[in-house]
Amino acid sequence: MLSSGQLAEQQAADYLIQQGLVLIERNFHCRRGEIDLIFKQGDTWVFVEVKYRSRQDFGGALAAVDQAKIRRILLSAQHYLHTKKLNQFDTAIRFDVIAIQAKAPFLEWFQNAFGE
């Protein structure tokens, strides 16, 4: 049986596929951290953090992506690009967050969430 986090990642992946993005990889792990989902949208690599929260306490799902988490995602993305022989300065990249709440609105997609 899938955990609520795994179900949220599957819902996020399905949603982004419906929006026309192409899924490249799930749960990329490296020593620096993890990236939940990696997509391509045209020529842009899209690194997606999925956050699920059953309650709105403490700001909900989006508030769970703090500066430390952002730093780990950025470092992990750099490592991922390096493993693919891509240069982060010559490659179009974007960092998105899918916030899933148990109560409405159910799923929100924040494109370019880190302002990079």
For the stretch 51-80, pLDDT in tens is: 987 766 656 666 778 899 999 999 999 999
Of 31-45, 73-87, 91-105, the least confident: 91-105
Please check whether residue 45 is in contact with residue 84, taking contact to mean a CB–CB distance below 8 angstroms: no
Domains of the chain: 4-110 (3.40.1350.10)
3-state secondary structure of 41: strand
**Residue 105 pLDDT > 80:** no
Q: What is the DSSP letter of 103?
A: S
pTM: 0.90
The secondary structure element, H or E, covering residue 77 is helix 67-83
- Give the residue-averaged pLDDT of 93-110: 85
